[in-house]
Amino acid sequence: MNFQPSSSLFLAQYCDDLLRREAALLRRISDVQGITHLLSTFESEDGCFHLLIDFCNAGSLHDRLIASRAKLITFSEEQVANIIHTLANTLVACHRQRVVHLDITPSNILFHINSSGAEEVKLTDFGMAEIIETGQMLYDRGGTPYYNSPEVIRGCYDHRADIWSLGVILHLLLTNTFPFFEHRQKSSITEVYNAILTEEIDIGAIRKEKELSAPVCDLLLRMLCKDADKRITLEEVLHHPWFEILHTGSGAPPSPIIRNSPRKVDVSVRPRRRVTEL
Instruction: Tell me the CATH number at 205.
Output: 1.10.510.10
Which residues are CB-contacts of 138 (< 8 A; sequence separation ≥ 6)?
100, 130, 132, 156, 157, 158
Clarify whether residues 126 and 196 are in a common domain: yes
Boundaries of domain holding 191 = 61-248
| Residues, the chain | 278
Which tens digit of pLDDT belongs to each residue from 36-72?
A: 999 999 998 888 899 999 999 999 999 999 999 888 8
User: What is the predicted pLDDT for the residue at 239?
Assistant: 96
Query: Using CA atoms, how far apart are residues 262 and 209, in angstroms rounded to an integer?
Result: 39
Clarify whether residues 158 and 232 are in a common domain: yes
Domain count of the fold of the chain = 2
pLDDT value at 262 more than 60 = no
Query: Using CA atoms, how far apart are residues 119 and 136, in angstroms rounded to an integer?
Result: 36
Clarify whether residues 220 and 114 are in a common domain: yes
Torsion of CA 92, 250, 63, 32, to 10 degrees: 20
Residue 120 counted as domain residue:
yes
Residue 278 counted as domain residue:
no
Nearest residue to 114 (alpha-carbon basis) of 34, 35, 56: 56
Query: Using CA atoms, how far apart are residues 273 and 189, in angstroms rounded to an integer?
Result: 14
Which residues does the annotation mark as catalytic?
Answer: 103
Radius of gyration of the chain (CA): 19
**Quick one: DSSP state of residue 102?**
-
Residue 128 counted as domain residue:
yes
Q: How confident is the model at residue 10 (pLDDT cuts 50, 70, 90)?
A: low
Residue 105 counted as domain residue:
yes
Clarify whether residues 43 and 68 are in a common domain: no
Coil, strand or helix: which one is 112? strand
Clarify whether residues 137 and 29 are in a common domain: no
Residue 277 counted as domain residue:
no
Clarify whether residues 170 and 238 are in a common domain: yes
User: What is the predicted pLDDT for the residue at 251?
Assistant: 44
Clarify whether residues 44 and 178 are in a common domain: no
pLDDT value at 170 more than 90 = yes
Which residues are CB-contacts of 65 (< 8 A; sequence separation ≥ 6)?
106, 172, 173, 176, 278
End-to-end CA distance of the chain: 49
Clarify whether residues 80 and 107 are in a common domain: yes
Q: How far is CA 107 from the centre of its chain?
A: 8
Which tens digit of pLDDT belongs to each residue from 213-252?
A: 999 999 999 999 999 999 999 999 999 999 987 665 544 4
Query: Using CA atoms, how far apart are residues 245 and 263, in angstroms rounded to an integer?
Result: 34
- HEC readout, 119-161: EEEEECCCCCCEECCCCCCECCCCCCHHHCCHHHHHCCECCHH
Tell if the pTM clears 0.75, that is, is over it.
Answer: yes
Query: Using CA atoms, how far apart are residues 166 and 105, in angstroms rounded to an integer?
Result: 8
Q: Percent helix, strand, coil in the chain (nearest 5)?
A: 45, 10, 45
Clarify whether residues 126 and 238 are in a common domain: yes
